[in-house]
Chain A
Amino acid sequence: MGSHQDTVGARIGMWLFLYTEIMLFGGLFVLYGAYYRIHAVEFIGTGQELDMVLGCVNTVILLVSSFFVAASVTAVRRNSTKGAMAFLAGAVLLGGLFLLNKYFEWGHKFHLGIYPGSPGLGESPPGRIVFYGLYFTITGLHAFHIVMGMVLLIVCIAMTGLGRIQKERFLLLENCGLYWHLVDLIWIFIFPLFYLIL
């Protein structure tokens, strides 16, 4: 069937898929908006309990990894296979680092008795419970997307090594890159909404 050559069409398909991801997280942002309006004071108070420094570090990590992925496309198009693989490996490592930070962050909260449905959290004011409910749902779903993105990037590394991604044929890399950037994009909004509201 005649579609295999049409990279523009394949990219359109990828963007359409990204729209579904945007709307998926969008549903949660709808909830955030409504609950922010209802529980503004408690949201602001609870936001200060999150570790802003860790949030900043993770933001920087994702931005740099996004840069690496964008740079890997440039590398492939300049026919530098090694460079592309190095950039992608860097992005995957940063993704891993992001997850590690998240692990410590969540672990610390669990240690304090703060997790969905925990008895300790149950005694706090309602806004605080909702804030943490949203926090765990949104960052959890986001972390899941990071894992998926890392898998895709690892596939890209392998494909680049095998010569399946190269100067004239980099659609897969471009589309996986788009996915990774989207995950970064969502974090750009999660960061101020949870870590910076004061």
Chain B
Amino acid sequence: MDPHIQSYKKLGGVLGVLLVLTAITVGVSRLDLGSLSLWVAMVIAGMKSALVLLFFMHLKYESWLIRGSFLMTIGVLALFIGFMFWDVAFR
């Protein structure tokens, strides 16, 4: 059993940052960044999901097995999407 009880204050703080990031991603999407805008949106979404994972889902306090296998899953998905582009991007 992990001994880390997260205080309401800390969880509230995380929620605050998440809401701020949401506002930022909406604001940035109004700017004309061309093809960059998708990447910016994805980076911000990645930051948000990292916060949810680390604090709400306690990934920060989990064993190497869960942290490692989670990264592996994301890696596999990234490879699946990436390798698809060997086809789609070069048609």
Contacts and interface: CB of A to CB of B under 8 A. Distances in A.
Do any beta carbons of A and B sit within 8 angstroms of each other in the complex?
A: yes
What's the dominant secondary structure at chain A's contact region? helix
Chain B: interface residue count, which band?
Answer: 35 or more
Contacts of B22: 56, 59-60, 63
B38 A197 contact: yes
Interface residues of A, number: 47
A8 to B, nearest CB: 7
A185 B42 contact: no
A19 B63 CA distance: 16
Nearest to B28: A196
Interface in A142-198: 174, 177-178, 181-182, 184-185, 188-189, 191-193, 196-198
A23 B13 CA distance: 30
B26 A29 contact: no
B45 A188 contact: yes
B14 A67 contact: yes
Contact of B84 (A19, A30, A178, A198): A30
Nearest to A70: B56
Contact of A181 (B29, B52, B73, B80): B52
B89 to A, nearest CB: 6
Most buried by A among B29, B55, B70, B89: B29
A86 B84 CA distance: 46
Contacts of B37: 197-198
Interface in A1-27: 7-8, 11-12, 15-16, 19, 22-23, 26
Nearest to A7: B1
Contacts of B69: 15-16, 19
A63 B80 contact: no
Interface of A: 7-8, 11-12, 15-16, 19, 22-23, 26, 29-30, 33-34, 36-38, 52, 56, 59-60, 63-64, 66-67, 69-71, 73-74, 77-78, 174, 177-178, 181-182, 184-185, 188-189, 191-193, 196-198
Given A33-B84, A185-B49, A197-B41, 10 more contacts: A15-B66, A19-B70, A23-B76, A52-B26, A56-B22, A60-B19, A71-B8, A181-B53, A181-B57, A192-B44
